[in-house]
């Protein structure tokens, strides 16, 4: 990570940055990582050239060394504040969504930014975001990012950081809202919170909050805010390095919460339907669901967890007409989305409606479809977030072993 840290300026004096006036930016960080990642993250925040901010670190049954380190920092830097989640006394982690909601309740800034505790801000991130939002009076700024692959110890430029940058508005002069590109809007916004800074008025106007989930908890915060925003701007400049494969964050074992991703999409679907946005955004919604299935399901370590997720998916799909799946399939997306939508149509639908029962063979057939498209993307280097396909290869072996034990074959 030395390359990233060398891009950051030395920490700026902050003796008067948070004096009598309120901070302009509130940075919310759930503490679920220990050192050295948290140390690098907070160092990149303290090294920002823009200094009028507060850092709300939320202790959600975090590692002892993380809490102790924040306590040490706040003695010398009044911008750093340590808060407790509502369940801290029980030492039970409630997840990043609940922790971020605590931060939202205490945030004093005009602009809100949610940062993961293992990511790294580029030196001019806050300065760039604040200047852009002030100049445009936008509700939301979407910005590009790089990834830092912990396994390969390398920083990567990624296509998915700022998709459609050549086809769609990608500068602060141009207004960007959902009807700019309804068929790919969610792909452009993404539900991760760390690629966007929001004006607090947007959050307060629509009471945006994170879901009480451990995974995909950011969907209702990010995507509903984006749909409600009257002005969004995009910046192609990378302002963050997002760490992957650290093994310490909430995403490292998705099988612990196999239903979260489905529950998140169910709530978004209900919200879109209630506010009469679903019909206009259905193609983007279905394609984003396919990307989520592709990204999450192959990472489950146990086939029983995968089967539970598939059963929940089948129940959810009763609300989704086959025509909507086909409409998304007919649009131009990358290989993985098309492959997952083909798999949905092949396994879940029959004669125009969702099937009522599924065998183990059919669950595993769907898993193999999704896993195979992921392996193909890794091999073709289309998918940058996977430097190596070892985990996926192991998953394929487990699928074949599970089939063999049941006397089944594809």
H or E segment to which residue 295 belongs: helix 278-296
pTM of the complete model? 0.87
| Exposed/middle/buried for residue 356 (C-beta within 10 Å: 0-12, 13-18, 19+) | exposed
Residue 14 pLDDT:
45
| CA-closest candidate to residue 95, choices 112, 120, 116, 68 | 116
Residue 391 pLDDT:
54
| CA-closest candidate to residue 117, choices 250, 209, 217 | 250
DSSP string covering 339-354, please? Answer: HHHHHHHHHTEETTEE
Q: E strands, 208-256, where?
A: 232-244
Residue 97 pLDDT:
92
Return contacts of 157-162, CB within 8 angstroms, 24+ apart: 157/238, 157/384, 158/384, 158/385, 159/384, 160/384, 160/385, 161/195, 161/238, 162/234, 162/236
Beta bridge pairs of residue 242: 147
Q: How far apart are CA 39 and CA 118, in angstroms?
A: 8
Peptide bond into 344 cis (omega under 30): no
Residue 379 pLDDT:
53
Peptide bond into 36 cis (omega under 30): yes
Q: How far apart are CA 314 and CA 358, in angstroms?
A: 9
Residue 62 pLDDT:
79
Give residue 385's Cα distance to chain centre: 13
20-8-154-235 Cα dihedral, nearest 10 degrees: 70
Q: How far apart are CA 259 and CA 255, in angstroms?
A: 9
| Exposed/middle/buried for residue 173 (C-beta within 10 Å: 0-12, 13-18, 19+) | exposed
Residue 61 pLDDT:
77
Beta bridge pairs of residue 120: 241
CB–CB of 44/15 below 8 Å? no
Sole residue written with tokens 């969610």: 186
Residue 374 pLDDT:
63
| Exposed/middle/buried for residue 125 (C-beta within 10 Å: 0-12, 13-18, 19+) | buried
Given a cut of 70, the residues of the chain with pLDDT beneath it are 1-20, 33, 86-92, 151-152, 245-253, 374-401, 404, 408-410
């Amino acid at each position: 990570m030395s390359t990233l840290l060398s891009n950051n300026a030395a920490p700026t004096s902050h003796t008067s940055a948070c004096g009598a006036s309120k901070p302009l930016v509130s940075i919310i960080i759930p503490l679920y990582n220990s050192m050295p990642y948290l140390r690098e993250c907070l160092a990149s925040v303290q090294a920002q050239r823009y200094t009028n901010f507060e850092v709300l670190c939320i202790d959600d049954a975090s590692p002892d060394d993380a809490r102790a380190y924040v306590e040490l920092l706040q003695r010398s830097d009044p911008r750093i504040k340590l808060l407790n989640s509502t369940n801290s006394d029980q030492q039970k982690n409630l997840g990043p969504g609940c922790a971020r909601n605590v931060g939202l309740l205490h945030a004093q800034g005009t602009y809100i930014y949610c940062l993961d505790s293992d990511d790294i801000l580029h030196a001019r991130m806050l300065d760039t975001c604040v200047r852009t939002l002030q100049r445009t009076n936008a509700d939301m700024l979407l910005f590009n990012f790089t990834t830092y692959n912990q396994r390969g110890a390398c920083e990567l430029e990624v296509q998915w950081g700022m998709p459609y940058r050549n086809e769609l508005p990608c500068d602060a002069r141009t207004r960007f809202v959902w009807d700019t590109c309804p068929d790919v809007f969610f792909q452009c916004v993404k539900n991760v919170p760390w690629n966007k800074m929001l004006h607090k008025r947007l959050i307060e106007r629509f009471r945006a909050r994170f879901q009480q989930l451990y995974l995909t908890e950011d969907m209702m915060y990010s995507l509903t805010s984006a749909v409600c925003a009257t002005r969004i701007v995009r910046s192609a400049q990378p302002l963050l390095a997002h760490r992957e494969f650290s093994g310490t964050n909430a995403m490292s074992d998705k099988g612990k919460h196999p239903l979260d991703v489905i529950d998140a999409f169910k709530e978004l679907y209900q919200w879109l339907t209630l506010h009469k946005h679903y019909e206009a955004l259905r193609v983007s919604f279905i394609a984003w669901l396919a990307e989520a299935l592709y990204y999450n399901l192959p990472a489950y370590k146990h086939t029983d967890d995968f089967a539970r997720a598939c059963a929940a998916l089948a129940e959810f799909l009763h609300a989704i007409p086959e025509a909507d799946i086909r409409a998304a399939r007919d649009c131009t997306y990358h290989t993985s989305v098309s492959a997952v939508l083909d798999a949905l149509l092949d396994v879940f639908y029959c004669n125009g409606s969702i099937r009522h029962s599924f065998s183990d063979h059919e669950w595993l057939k769907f898993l193999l479809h999704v896993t195979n498209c992921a392996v193909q993307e890794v091999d073709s280097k289309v998918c940058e977030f996977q430097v190596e396909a070892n985990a996926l290869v192991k998953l394929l072996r487990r699928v074949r072993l599970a089939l063999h034990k049941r006397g089944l074959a594809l």
